[in-house]
Homo-oligomer: A and B are copies of this chain.
Amino acid sequence: MHPFTSRPTASVAALGETRLIASIRRWLGTASPPAPFGIGDDCAVLPPSRSRQLLTVDPVIHGVHFDDSVLPRAVGAKLLKRNLSDLAAMGGRPAAAVISLALAPQVKLAWLEAFYRGLAVTARRFRVPIVGGDVATQPGGLVATLTLLGEVAGPRVLTRTGARTGDRIFVTGVLGGSLASGHHHRFIPRLAEGAWLARQSGVRSLMDVSDGLAKDLPALTPAGARAELNTATLPRRRGCDVRAALCDGEDYELLFALNGKTETEKFQAAWRRAFPRTRLTCIGRFVQASRPRAADALRLDDYQGFEHLRELNGRKKAQAAQKQFGRKR
């Protein structure tokens, strides 16, 4: 659905701010607790947290993270789920979220209602109260920004650092083709898997794959090491080649390093018992950077994951890129 309309009576401007906020509260329903624990005061009031806390923020932007082919309820769901994926990547569980909207007055009321209803369904499913927000106009476009507060689910928080040379590299699910397949809005954030991984002592570091393995894996790679990938085992979505699996991005899968001394088969058996329906693949390991490379070895530098702004150097390129949904996120 196209989010904009030229009919004033069908636009958010027809309501004005006060009535729009009242509508938003109705659309969110039980996903938003009453003030001061939810929308309606200067801040939302949250209970104390005994665990260490996690905080992350990500937006969805029209023409960047979604286009007119994506249903607005899926856009609302995606906004929350991409933040939940960041939380999963630290072994966390959600506590509360706030959402800020910057929208052109021409945004369709029907679009916005479906967006919020999709967000509310997802918030209830993952037990994330939407506790506050802000609505403001901007001259054009549509930006929805969600900030997610969570807490560490277990005794340990997993970060991107901690992997060592000799560690094995694992990834969940399959990679590539996220946009064409609709995975970019249909994915289920790997919260249970992330919390489970944080409880396994052999797991040394964890992140989610959102910009493509080629761009994200270097963040997990320890100093003085390089990732030696087994291209044959790279789990690819149907119809995707190695390049797509490495570069497409928006996979929202978990990528982690397992201590080389951990018994891999035992670990994988435990995984299958915990998550019989979630594929887990060992895709390679970290080796010393100085170690000679096999002639047919994959060079990650030859591939580029998604990078905001990268292809936008110059106005013409920028305009071309705008039309090409999915190359910027």
Contacts and interface: CB of A to CB of B under 8 A. Distances in A.
A296 to B, nearest CB: 28
Contacts of A149: 55, 149
Nearest to A89: B42
A150 interface: yes
A69 to B, nearest CB: 17
A281 interface: no
Nearest to A313: B13
A54 interface: yes
30 contacts: A13-B313, A14-B313, A16-B308, A36-B90, A36-B160, A41-B90, A42-B86, A42-B90, A42-B208, A43-B54, A43-B55, A43-B150, A45-B54, A55-B149, A57-B132, A57-B134, A59-B134, A59-B145, A61-B136, A106-B318, A134-B145, A135-B308, A135-B309, A136-B329, A137-B308, A138-B141, A139-B140, A140-B140, A143-B145, A145-B145
A137 to B, nearest CB: 5
Given A41-B90, A149-B149, A308-B135, A55 B16 contact: no
A68 interface: no
Nearest to A58: B134
B318 A13 contact: yes
Interface of A: 6, 8, 11-18, 20, 35-36, 40-59, 61-65, 86-87, 89-90, 92, 96, 98-100, 102, 105-106, 131-141, 143, 145, 147, 149-150, 152, 157, 159-161, 207-208, 307-310, 312-315, 318, 322, 328-329
A137 B8 contact: no
Main secondary structure of the interface of A (DSSP, over half): mixed
A139 B132 CA distance: 27
A36 B138 contact: no
Given A36-B157, A138-B141, A313-B14, A46 B56 contact: no
A313 to B, nearest CB: 5
Given A16-B309, A312-B137, A44 B49 contact: no
B136 A308 contact: yes
Contact of A59 (B43, B55, B86, B102): B102
**Identical subunits present:** 2
A322 B106 CA distance: 13
Nearest to A21: B308
Contacts of A45: 52-54, 90, 152, 157, 159
B86 A133 contact: no
Contacts of A100: 57-59, 145, 147
Contacts of A159: 35-36, 41, 45
Contacts of A42: 56, 86-87, 89-90, 160, 207-208
Given A8-B315, A90-B41, A106-B315, A137 B309 contact: yes
Given A61-B138, A308-B137, A315-B6, A43 B13 contact: no
B87 A43 contact: yes
Contacts of A160: 35-36, 40-42
